[in-house]
Amino acid sequence: MAGQTEGLTGDLLGNAGDLEHDTAGLDNGNPVLGSALTGTHAIITKDASTAAVKTGVVEVSLYVPNLLDSLEGVSVLFYDNATGRWVLLQPIRVDAAAKTVTVNVSGSGTLSVVYKR
């Protein structure tokens, strides 16, 4: 991932914190992408029968211990290993009571749950 995160600052690659991007990046050039609810998590999708790395859409549920009903704009910042790009994914479900966010990812990559302040 070296060099792929240029233009992203804050604590994106470590702990929760402010996330910023370059003007050609995400969120139509707005300077603040959001605040992280989780650190980053690497995910590798594999075929259950062959253990080969799998491409294609996979539904993933993430436990987010600090998820609250009052948070708005919850989404998932995802680095897609296949494309080498960061994308902002809208969740399928946000369940504050169960503290989970469910999202479709396009295969292996790195992700962090974020929200708008």
Domain assignment present for 96 = yes
User: What was the pLDDT predicted at 20?
Assistant: 41
pLDDT (0 to 100) of residue 47: 82
pLDDT at 2 over 70: no
Q: Is the pLDDT of residue 98 over 50?
A: yes
Task: Answer whether residue 62 is part of any domain.
Answer: yes
User: Residue 3 domain-assigned?
Assistant: no
> What average pLDDT score do residues 84-96 get?
94
| pLDDT of the residue at 104 | 94
* Residue 1 within any structural domain of the chain: no
Q: What is the pLDDT of residues 11-62, one digit of tens each?
A: 333 333 444 443 234 444 444 467 888 888 899 888 888 988 887 888 999 9
pLDDT of residue 111: 93
pLDDT at 117: 73
User: What secondary structure, in 3-state letters, does the chain show?
Assistant: CCCCCCCCEECCCCCCCEEECCCCCCHHHCCEEEEECCCCEEECCECCCCCCECCCCEEEEEECCCCCCCCEEEEEEEEECCCCEEEEECCCEEECCCCEEEEEECCCEEEEEEEEC
pTM > 0.85: no
Domain assignment of residue 46, given as a range: 9-116
The whole-angstrom separation of Cα 100 and Cα 114 is 13
Alpha-carbon span 43 to 20, nearest angstrom:
23
Q: Is residue 75 part of a domain?
A: yes
Mean pLDDT of the chain: 76
| Number of domains into which the chain is organized | 1
The more confidently predicted of residues 16 and 105 is 105
